[in-house]
Each structure stands twice: as C-alpha cells, then as structure tokens.
Amino acid sequence: MASKKIFGIVLAGGEGKRLMPLTADRAKPAVPFGGGYRLIDFALSNLINSGLTKIVVLTQYKSHSLDRHVSQTWRLSGLLDAYVASVPAQQRLGKRWFSGSADAILQSLNLLRDEKPDIVVVVGADHVYRMDFSQMIEAHIASGRGLTVAAIRQPISLADQFGVIELDEKDPGLIKAFREKPTDAVGLADSPNEVLASMGNYVFDADILIDAVLRDGERSDSNHDMGGDIVPDFVSRGAAGVYDLNNNDVPGSTERDKFYWRDVGSIDSFFEAHQDLISALPIFNLYNRDWPIFSQQLNSPPAKFVRDARGYLGTTIDSIVSLGSLLSGAHIERSILGPWTTVESGAMLVDCIVFERARVGPNAVVRRAILDKDVVIEAGASVGVDPDADRARGLTVTESGITIVGKGVHVAP
C-alpha cells in the first residue's frame, strides 16, 4: 500500500427497482447473496483486504437493515483508529435527499474534511467480484492523474450493456471517450473482440474529487452521477486514466475466477451469479482463504441432513447449505440455501435461491425460484412449476421464468 492516507467511500444508496420484490423492504446493497452474505459484503471485503481501514458507507433508500448489518458485522477495533461507518443522508445542504451518487459525496464532504485523506477510493455496493485496490492505488499514484477508473474486459457483443471506455491511441492509459451502452463499440487494440467496461470503482486524489463534486453541484444540467457526469467531465479534460482489472493479482484466485465481476442489478443477473457459485470448479470461488469475503456469522449450529420418517436421507447435489439449516429426506439440486432453512420430507428444490429462515413443507416442489426471508411453502404446494399459476396468486415471475416469493409470504397448495 502506498504511504499515503487512504479513505474509502461505498455508495450504498441504491433503490434497486429491477430487483423488486427483493428490494421492497431493504436497500439493494442489503439483499442477501450466496447463503450467508449481503451484496455490500463484497465491496467492503475487497477494501478491507486491500488494507483500507477507514471506510464510510453512504446510505439512503430503506436503509434500516443495511445500517444494522454494517454496525453489527463490520466492527473494527477503535484502538487501531479503524472503522467502517454507515452514514445516512444528512440533508447538510438543504431539505433534500441525495439526487445522485456525486451529490451523495457532495453532501458528505464533511467526512473528507475531517479525515483529510490524500487518496479517496469510491466504489459501488452491489457488484460481486474480488479486487486488490492497493494495486490500483499504486497505479493511480504513478500515473499522476486525478482520477483512475477501474475497468474489466467484456465481449464486444455485450458493449451495449455497459459504460464503455475508449483509450487514447498514443497513451493507452488515458481515457479518450466514455460511452454509455454503445451499439457501435470499437474493440481494443490488443483484443479486437473485447471492450473495457467501467466497474463503477474509482480512485481520486482527494482535493481533485472535492473540486469535482463542488463544480458538479453548481450545474443545473447535471444528473449529479459519478459515472454519468463526473467521469465524462474528467475525460473531456484529458484527466481520466484507466486501470485494467487484467493487471490485478488477487491472492488465492484461480484461472477460472481471476477476473470475475458481475453486476447483479436485475433478477436474471442475480440468479445467474448464484449459479456461478455452485459448480465443483466455481466461476466465482467463495472458498478463497487468502482473500476471504467477510460477513456476519450468526450464532448457529451446523447444517444438518437427517433421514425422514420413512428412513429416506434425501439427496443434495451441487448446492450450498448455510448454517442452521435442517434438511429431512428432501431433494436439493443446484440451489443455495440461506441460514436456518428448513426443507421437509419429500420436498424438491431445483435451481433455487433461498434466504434466511424459509421453510419448505413436505412434498412441496420449488423450481427456478427465489424465496425471500421467512417464506413458507406449505405441504404439497408448488412454485416455479406453472408460471401462469404463480402470477395468478400474486407472485412475481420474470420473462425468463424465474419466480420470486416475497418476504414472509405463505404459499398454499
């Protein structure tokens, strides 16, 4: 880590409309992921593993469970002058909430003025990835630029899904253009079939960041967004550099998950990211002990697999089962079960994501579904088998056929 004072800001005010109904009662960064985690745990784990010890989480939308998770899970020792602090919108600049990610920083400049850092790392709170930010910080300092944008290589066919970075021909470390979801993207010079997509992670010189958000705050034509307004302003002035994730070496990473990054902003991408976890050689490996993903470990017993009254043990294939769960004579396949999940005799779960304390009753069938916290699937009921029937009883079904059962809902036969 560079011998400079580093400060971390996690932008966690996202509403997450495309993840409804999972975000009906919680902020997007607080959505459970991978059994025992929340989405925000990935950003915070990367920052902590990278050596950052002073981090704030800027929250806004339905932030109670997110604030509670940060306060209970991310307690750092005060003796080391280290902290992860949740900071809600404070209306310091008038009776208004954050109008964008840049405005969130503008309204929180007191944090920077108190800490007086040299470098500020700004990251989103809802991506699944591993990254050593200390290496990006070193590259940023060496570049001499005021802003460095983290980027990941993506197939050119997917360019219309990302903010795409185009590089200067003479200086490949300089961003020449930043285009939002282009349909005519140009491939990289060293890889014509790929583009550089912004990861939504930035490193700034602190004084330059402060100046940028102050100037942006005075603009009436701005949406006050980091990716939509701040970065393009730096690009237009030839002051924005790029950091290619291909240059990042995370301890313990494998060739299969080395450059993994996924935006889980929609139900489909959220579902697909879970499928990336469960194979024998996972696309994203949760079992990397050299770069762990931290979260709150509930005071829970181990998961338990028991025979049912018929003496049938059941089967669990290509799945993750969290602490406190009890499976009795059930069939579980390609699924991820959160803490304290109960699945009873004869039940079947295939291609499912299950949050904390859900209960699936005897002989119930659940396929290609997401069950939120405290859901009960009653004996003999089915979910994800007939999409029209699921819609008829008020459940959300995506165009790709994923059924979502909202928090606390009971599904009868």
Residues of each annotated binding site for alpha-D-glucose 1-phosphate: 163, 180-181, 198
Which residues are annotated as part of the binding site? 163, 180-181, 198
Q: Give the Cα separation of 80 and 211 in Å (integer).
A: 30
Maximal CA-CA distance, the chain:
72
Cα–Cα dist 90/50, whole Å? 29
Task: Tell me how far apart the alpha carbons of residues 164 and 184 are, in angstroms, rounded to a whole number.
Answer: 11
**205, 118 in Cβ contact below 8 A?**
yes
Strand partners, 128: 262
Please, are residues 196 and 167 in contact by the beta-carbon 8 Å criterion?
yes
354 CB burial (10 A radius; 0-12, 13-18, 19+): buried
Distances (CA, A) of 384 to 275, 387, 411: 17, 6, 12
First to last CA, the chain: 57
Burial class from Cβ neighbours inside 10 Å (0-12, 13-18, 19+) for residue 250 reads buried
DSSP letters spanning 52-121? --EEEEEE-TT-HHHHHHHHHH----GGGT-EEEEEE---TTSS----SHHHHHHTTHHHHHHH--SEEE
Q: Where are the beta strands (DSSP E) in 245-335?
A: 261-263, 304-306, 314-317, 320-321, 326-328, 330-333
Buried b (16+ CB within 10 A) or exposed e, 159-174: beebbbbbbeeeeeeb
Neighbours of 142 (CB within 10 A): 12
